[in-house]
Amino acid sequence: MNASPDLAALRRHAVARSLFTPTTLMAAVERLGGFVQADPLRAPARAQDLTLRHRVNGYRAGDLERRYPKLALQEDFFINYGFVTPALRALMHPRSARRHWDAARWQLAHAVLAEVERLGDAHPADVDAALGQGAVKNWFGGNSRLSTELLDGLHYRGHLDVARRDSGTRVYRLAAPWQAHPDPQAAMDALADVVIQKYAPLPAGSLSQLINMLFHAAHQWEALRKPTLARAKARLAHARVDGVDWYWPADEDPTRGWRIPAQVRLLAPFDPVVWDRRRFELLWGWAYRFEAYTPAAKRVRGHYALPLLWRDQVIGWANASVKAGALRVEVGYVAGKPPREAAFAPALDAEVARLHDFLGLDG
């Protein structure tokens, strides 16, 4: 029987299992559970690129978008919006939506589907020009084109694929028909295993939160919420550490002596290592918050502060920007100053150099 882990062992386990040896793009996505979260902000690069650069050999900013049309990936909603493998996507569709469409809205949606079929690859502007369906209030109170809203809804419901992006705008095509999963509980168990694989080890509260989030991806199986959580807890390894229940895959051993290199990594705000804020505070003892949408006067660490990982400790953050073609990195530390270890400064310089190369900057 394995020894019970302490918090230090859980911390090493969290870092080592997620920051695996860099591999190919598709192999890295598979290791990440078949899902990479996406975000449109570029500061200094998009979150999906900042996540993949630590896990893909020779990765450069924008590689995922450039290669997307030829990859076995699709943009879709999972627990958040991002890129998913076909196997993961098949577990979620045919998907129902929380927001019900009445017969009149479905009539408009079918007109959109017919226009997408006619166009082959359909840009929202072309669909809108053909149908002229007018403007509507979107979910955050602004105005958007009805055809664009219908395209988004049809994509969420699995009727459309994203063929590519043109200047950041999704270009759609018809999706193939979906086959209903023969065993909904098995599908939900598999979806639960994806988030556990991606974010373990997990405190009990975070495990419950993630299972709940799965039903945004598979709303049609809402009735399975409680049994899915209970079944997940039953098949996972478990320990109580400092008064908190933790869970991780049964075939893993947090106490095995994970090797953590003496390396600095600037992580995306949504990187799996730091994504769960509850786990973050338990493992590293301070609160990290994503402040891009916080008013500037109220920001504590910056618009797009990147958590700074040194060995297995998140000791601070960095704000990186490109000004006049040059990379600028401003670093802050939870302790108010950098570590005294002689190895830290050259390791930070090496990470800034890697970030420079990833961004494709000259000089």
Q: What string of DSSP letters covers 49-80?
A: HHHHTTTBTT--TTHHHHHGGGSS-EEEESSS
- The two structure tokens encoding residue 314: 């998140």
- The two structure tokens encoding residue 177: 């028909």
Structure confidence at residue 330 (pLDDT): 97
Judged by phi (left if over 0) then psi (alpha if -120 to 50, else beta), residue 268 lies in beta
Contact 192, 214 (CB under 8 A): yes
Residue 201 lies in a domain: no
Residue 50 lies in a domain: no
Q: What is the CATH number of the domain that holds 126?
A: 1.10.10
Residue 169 lies in a domain: yes
- Location of structure tokens 């920007």: 321
Which domain-ending residue is among 140, 159, 174? 174
3 state SS of 16? helix
Per-residue pLDDT of the chain (363 residues; tens, 9 = 90+): 467 999 999 999 999 999 999 999 999 999 999 999 999 999 999 999 999 999 999 999 999 999 999 999 999 999 999 999 999 999 999 999 988 999 999 999 999 999 999 999 999 999 998 887 655 444 444 445 788 899 999 999 999 999 999 999 999 999 999 999 999 999 999 999 999 999 999 999 999 999 999 999 999 999 999 999 999 999 999 999 999 999 999 999 999 888 899 999 999 999 999 999 999 999 999 999 999 999 999 999 999 999 999 999 999 999 999 999 999 999 999 999 999 999 999 999 999 999 999 999 986
Which domain-ending residue is among 139, 174, 209? 174
Residue 61: half-sphere exposure toward Cβ, Cα within 13 Å: 18
- Per DSSP bridges, beta strands 35-37 and 74-77 are unpaired
Residue 67 lies in a domain: no
- The two structure tokens encoding residue 154: 């049809």
Structure confidence at residue 142 (pLDDT): 45
User: Alpha helices, DSSP H only, in 223-262?
Assistant: 225-235
Structure confidence at residue 1 (pLDDT): 46
Residue 331 lies in a domain: yes
Q: How far apart are CA 51 and CA 34, in angstroms?
A: 13
Contact 189, 236 (CB under 8 A): no
Q: How far apart are CA 112 and CA 154, in angstroms?
A: 9
Describe the strand order of the beta sheet including 306-310 as a list of residue ranges: 264-266, 306-310, 313-323, 326-333
Which domain-ending residue is among 145, 174, 203? 174
Number of domains observed in the structure of the chain: 2
DSSP per-residue codes, 91-130: TT-SPP-SS---HHHHHHHHHHHHHHHHHSSB-HHHHHHH
Residue 259 lies in a domain: no
By C-alpha distance, which of 89, 93, 103, 35 is closest to 220? 93
Residue 329's domain comprises 264-358
For 182, residues 6+ apart whose C-beta sits below 8 A from its C-beta are none
Residue 72 lies in a domain: no
3 state SS of 237? strand
- The two structure tokens encoding residue 7: 């918090």
By C-alpha distance, which of 26, 13, 15 is closest to 267? 15
What are residue 319's phi and psi, to 5 degrees?
-110, 120
Structure confidence at residue 260 (pLDDT): 93
b vs e for 129-162, b when ≥16 Cβ sit within 10 Å of the residue's Cβ?
ebbebeeeeeeeeeeebbbbbbbbbbbbbbbbbb
- Location of structure tokens 């669909």: 127
